[in-house]
Amino acid sequence: MPIIILETPIRASAEICYNLSLSVDLHQLSTVRTKEHIVAGVREGIMKLGESVTWRAKHFGIWLKLSSKITEANKPAYFVDEMQKGPFKVMRHQHHFIESCGSILMKDIFMFESPMGILGRIANKLVLEDYLRGFLRERNQCIKEMAESGRWKEILGNSNSF
């Protein structure tokens, strides 16, 4: 099973980064390129443990749906979202927020398995690993920019989640 690990240093609190990472509003901003939008589940705000969302997005010129659920959470240290239904055989995304001296290291551990056996494994190596790494980097850059600039307030407002 392919595993993508990304580490993004951010000059902000773990709590702000945690909430931005769980915000469906920020997710939609960070995925404008793939026209990602919500078709079911949580439609605004910050997702919580046990909640689900279904996204529709255009990848490789094809419209796809992916439903994910927050299956583990320990605010503000980490949470996990897992695909419930979608194009992968398995998809599990761990989000860790490691605080140090007023900033954090946001660490993503993204595991996925494509369907179709050997053909899926070939697609992983030739296309999907790099594509997904780039997709996650774009999202993390959006989180970093919002958190460090103070624009996080536009997304999170005066949320009671703090």
Confidence of residue 42 (pLDDT cuts 50, 70, 90): very high
The average pLDDT across 38-67 equals: 94
**Burial (0-12, 13-18, 19+ Cβ within 10 Å), 21:** buried
Joined tokens for residue 146: 């919002």
> What domains sit in the chain, N to C, each tagged with a CATH number?
3-156 (3.30.530.20)
- Angstrom distances, CA of residue 15 to CA of 11, 37, 74, 107, 125: 12, 25, 11, 14, 35
Query: Sheet of 3-10: strands edge to edge?
Result: 3-10, 103-113, 90-100, 78-85, 62-74, 52-59, 37-41
Query: What's residue 32's pLDDT?
Result: 86
